[in-house]
Structure 1
Amino acid sequence: MARRVLITGARAVAALDIARDFAAAGWEPHLADSVPVRMARWSKASARVHRYPAPRQQGAAFRARIVELVDTFGFERVVPTCEEVFHLAAPALQCRWGERLFVPNLATLRQLHDKLAFARHCGEWGLPVPESHPIDSVEDLTRFASRSREWVFKPRFSRFGDSALIAPGRRALSAITPSPDNPWMAQARIYGEEVCFHGVAHRGELVAFAAYHSSWRLGGGAGYAFEPVADHHRETLRKIASRLAQCAAIHGQFACDAMFDEAGVAYLLECNPRATSGVHLLTGAGHLAHAIGDGIAAPEAAPRTLYLGPAMVVFGLPQAVRGARMRDWWRCVATGHDVVSRPGDRGPLLGALCDAASFALTGFKHNISTNAAATYDLEWNGEELP
């Protein structure tokens, strides 16, 4: 009988691609989420799709459903892709399944997800980070007002870069209302080339790695096209990722945004302790599944250009028209590969568009952005979990 894996957060393209990779490795993949996921359901990928209650609003019911699914199907691995990772790391589930959950413990996740804690721990571990300071009150902002253009301000718990203020003026800075319940931070602004990397660690050892950059981004900074970085930058980032995985004792997926300054020095900006779009550079032949399932080191990710098809059309095409970048847009589409749909499996493309429309409607109902709606039922901002 094939080994079974449960991949949660099926709303993410990363989840579908991970499922495809596990299938290529001979596993039986299952997907699950708390919202309708047409992209996953309409795919021809050999994966069953399950439903669970909203982790954020129905925590106890979510944990009970996960227990039911794991006990029923005997999953060897539970692999999260979105912010349900924090709810899966709750002590009750960690104690029950241990390393079958491919997630670090909640204390480690807090170290990585809290942007200020991440910067401080990286400093202790000898990893390069920009100067960072806490902002827990409006009064804390006053010492930055005269030189706000030299800093980046962001909530310590945030996602997609939606709320970050890069070198704001006094008026924009005055709109921030930090508090102990809504803590912010100030981080020295680094000028240079922004890059990202995605890592997979097995008991603190880096077993899969990919580095990339994106010239096609949403307003908040999230990229939807992914291109390889220069070899020397990739090796620098790999060493940083390996050191981070070891020092934080990571058992799971993690990704970081970094910046190479004008002198070529790399600085870590923040960490996402979950799957990100960089995972697409590692999928295809089952190597990622072997890394997650058995800790077998994956080969070097092949340099290639990938993109999210729906986003490249819905967001990229208007950006190209407005910015006179049609040639760049066409080159990316013509030479790259869509990670949403595949030859013979075009259903996810339409499904992704329908899912996006559903999140937009949710955002309208709750008066929040579509990005915020995509994590409304599962985001975690440092609360205690049972």
Structure 2
Amino acid sequence: MALDHARRFHRHGWEVHIADSIPCRLSGWSSSVTGTHSLRSPRHDARGFVADLNQAVTARGIDLLVPTCEEALHLSRHRTALPRELHVAVDEFDKLAALHSKWEFVRIARSNGMPTPASSRVRTLAQAREWARGRAVVVKPEFSRFGVHVRLYPHGITGDAPELPPLGDWVVQAFVAGDELCSYAIADRGRLLAHVIYRPAYRLARSSSYYFDPVRRPAIHDAVAAFVRGTGYSGQVSFDWIETCDGEALALECNPRATSGLHLFPFAADLPTALLGDGDLREPWPAKPKMIAALMTMAGLPAAVRNRRFGKWLRDFQRADDVISVPGDRLPPAGSIGDLASYSRLALLQRCSLREAATRDIEWDGEPLEALGA
């Protein structure tokens, strides 16, 4: 998302700087980027993170700060420690924290007319089993990302299911069969300024998608607009949906940050102005599918061959554009290889997965965060 934002800001005449607490060659090597800045981890060194940001903002005369992942929560929490004149594209922390919680989101969604599956908050598998009463359910940590630790029980929770690991509260939710959809939006003080809906057509297992197929669903658009209006939301916000066979769309969870729907907007769409809170609603339609071509080849192709769906894979590949390699900006793919090597080293040192190594420095799982500068 950082690379995509960088390219479109550059296209609209901005000077773009990238800052991160882990290697960011994928974005930093783009011809759209003027400079890169190293930050300390907001999760592990909040004061250092704020000091590094303030130094970069002051030295480079930064006007607008746009988060792309869970650093949005840390930026919101420490907003008062940053220059008052700096525009930070996030909402207030309490609102983001509630939406980041998969349990609190259900409450907020329902109070704003957004339909969700029946849900409950539990601590143990026994509590989840008692609530489910043999029904098909999904069990997931209250705070998680990219589908990590999510359990799917389409025939009810089995007798030999392992106990839930100690990750705090969990949410047990009625399993609803249907078509998975996602939406991405930009809002300002309750006004919807950009919106797109897409199908995550190819995934890494049940985790992140690498193929983004745009669709139109008026009911989802109206639900997002009502949610944004009812909460007075500002910033980027994304939702995961399930669409049943009769066309009903239910919201599963919320990500109060950027997601891959960003890729579906043409560079001509003035999203930088939307992030400043100006302009009318932007919707990319008709829109062409986008993909991460390297993953489509390395992960999607073998799976398609195994499942005898090569023809469909080929048609999908041919109708989509890559979001990493674009004409006139060819270094980011090489940068991604360098980043992968760095994440591998971090994963070995921290004894964690590559995915965890790439996000561990910015994650927030509901623990208390002292507000700096308040």
TM-score (norm 2): 0.92
Cα pair 2:187 2:277 within 8 Å, conserved: no
CA-atom RMSD in angstroms = 2.0
Shift of 1:142: 4.0
Q: Matches of 1:99 and 1:186 in 2, distance apart?
A: 40
CA separation of 1:68 and 1:152: change in aligned 2, threshold 3 A: same
Q: Matches of 1:193 and 1:47 in 2, distance apart?
A: 41
1:224-235 paired onto structure 2 within 5 Å: 224-229=210-215, 231=216, 233=217, 235=218
| 322-331 or 264-273: bigger deviation | 322-331
Q: Matches of 1:37 and 1:194 in 2, distance apart?
A: 30
1:188-207 paired onto structure 2 within 5 Å: 188-207=174-193
1:116-265 paired onto structure 2 within 5 Å: 116-144=103-131, 146-147=133-134, 150-167=136-153, 169-170=157-158, 173-178=161-166, 182-229=168-215, 231=216, 233=217, 235-265=218-248
For 2:162, the aligned partner's letter is S
Shift of 1:261: 1.1
Cα pair 2:188 2:233 within 8 Å, conserved: yes
Q: Matches of 2:192 and 2:81 in 1, distance apart?
A: 21
Shift of 1:190: 0.9
Cα pair 1:94 1:101 within 8 Å, conserved: no
CA separation of 1:204 and 1:173: change in aligned 2, threshold 3 A: farther
Shift of 1:139: 4.3
Shift of 1:106: 0.8
Q: Matches of 1:309 and 1:106 in 2, distance apart?
A: 35
User: What does the per-residue CA deviation read over 1:45-79, in whole Å, with 9 as the maximum and x for residues that have no partner?
Assistant: 24321111111111110011112222222322110
Q: 5+ unaligned residues in a row in structure 1: which ranges?
A: 1-13
Cα pair 1:22 1:286 within 8 Å, conserved: no
Q: Matches of 1:95 and 1:355 in 2, distance apart?
A: 28
CA separation of 1:203 and 1:342: change in aligned 2, threshold 3 A: same
Cα pair 1:125 1:247 within 8 Å, conserved: yes
TM-score (norm 1): 0.89
Shift of 1:383: 2.0
User: What does the per-residue CA deviation read over 1:3-52, in whole Å, with 9 as the maximum and x for residues that have no partner?
Assistant: xxxxxxxxxxx111111111111111111111111212322224321111
Q: Match for residue 111 of structure 1?
A: 98
The percent identity for this pair of structures is 34
Q: Match for residue 8 of structure 1?
A: none
Q: Match for residue 35 of structure 2?
A: 48
1:355 to 339, 348, 365: 339
CA separation of 1:79 and 1:340: change in aligned 2, threshold 3 A: same
Cα pair 2:214 2:264 within 8 Å, conserved: no
User: What does the per-residue CA deviation read over 1:52-110, in whole Å, with 9 as the maximum and x for residues that have no partner?
Assistant: 11111111100111122222223221100011111101145377538711001110111
Q: Match for residue 356 of structure 2?
A: 372
CA separation of 1:356 and 1:320: change in aligned 2, threshold 3 A: farther
Q: Matches of 2:132 and 2:229 in 1, distance apart?
A: 38
Q: Matches of 1:102 and 1:153 in 2, distance apart?
A: 32
Q: Match for residue 327 of structure 1?
A: 311
For 1:350, the aligned partner's letter is A
User: What does the per-residue CA deviation read over 1:243-274, in whole Å, with 9 as the maximum and x for residues that have no partner?
Assistant: 12122222110110001112211100001111
Give 1 or 2: higher helix fraction: 1
Q: Matches of 1:172 and 1:358 in 2, distance apart?
A: 39
Shift of 1:137: 3.5
Cα pair 2:65 2:86 within 8 Å, conserved: no
Shift of 1:343: 1.5
SS where residue 255 of structure 1 aligns?
strand
Cα pair 2:291 2:323 within 8 Å, conserved: yes
Count of equivalent residues: 367
CA separation of 1:145 and 1:261: change in aligned 2, threshold 3 A: closer
| 341-350 or 134-143: bigger deviation | 134-143
Q: Tell me whether 1:297 sits opposite 2:293 in the alignment.
A: no
Cα pair 1:17 1:283 within 8 Å, conserved: no
Q: Match for residue 309 of structure 1?
A: 293
For 2:204, the aligned partner's letter is L
SS where residue 368 of structure 1 aligns?
coil
Q: Tell me whether 1:102 sits opposite 2:89 in the alignment.
A: yes
SS where residue 196 of structure 1 aligns?
strand
| 58-67 or 365-374: bigger deviation | 365-374
Shift of 1:172: 6.1
Q: Matches of 1:97 and 1:118 in 2, distance apart?
A: 29
User: What does the per-residue CA deviation read over 1:178-205, in whole Å, with 9 as the maximum and x for residues that have no partner?
Assistant: 5xx6110101111111100000001221
Q: Matches of 2:136 and 2:323 in 1, distance apart?
A: 37
User: What does the per-residue CA deviation read over 1:315-342, in whole Å, with 9 as the maximum and x for residues that have no partner?
Assistant: 2222222222222222222111001111
Q: Matches of 1:361 and 1:298 in 2, distance apart?
A: 43
CA separation of 1:316 and 1:97: change in aligned 2, threshold 3 A: farther
Shift of 1:221: 2.8
CA separation of 1:84 and 1:138: change in aligned 2, threshold 3 A: same
